[in-house]
Homo-oligomer: A and B are copies of this chain.
């Protein structure tokens, strides 16, 4: 039976959801697919490439084209909200996507970065600084969501957490940080002009 790349990513994503990122190994994936580990390397040169493909699967729910080109602030807000939702909908989603983003292995995160850079340019930020601004937003979204997800998962595991301001509506907290970043971009676009 032929092993399709799409099926490998399907099963890898199920393993991620069921067991988490630490237990997503090439060996386990091969066993689950009932193939030799070598068969996986036909589709993926290494584990990083596989994780990148799973990250892209996690991010299929993010529609970069939906960002409103007429209003850069709404565009950033809409894209980042979709990104957070997608990360939270898979076990260890934020950790997986952070690792793949850092390794330059996620095509979808490249598109998100491109869209955020475009929004910063629409705001009037110069093009080099626009990519830095986009990355600052991405670090915030990934950092916030990884933290939120760790807490959700530890909470589900019954761990005792120190309770703080975190108890408040996480979506409102997430939006506040985004507003801070958007305000910062507005200031820089004015000072660049």
A80 at the interface (CB under 8 A from B): no
A90 at the interface (CB under 8 A from B): no
Decide: B98 and A136 in contact? CB cutoff 8 A: no
Within 8 A of B (CB), among A128-185: 128-129, 131-133, 135-136, 138-140, 142-144, 146-147, 150-151, 154, 159, 161-162, 164-165, 173, 176-177, 179-185
Count A-side interface residues using an 8 Å CB cutoff: 44
A103 at the interface (CB under 8 A from B): yes
| Interface set of A (CB-CB < 8 Å, partner B) | 22, 48, 98-99, 101-104, 128-129, 131-133, 135-136, 138-140, 142-144, 146-147, 150-151, 154, 159, 161-162, 164-165, 173, 176-177, 179-188
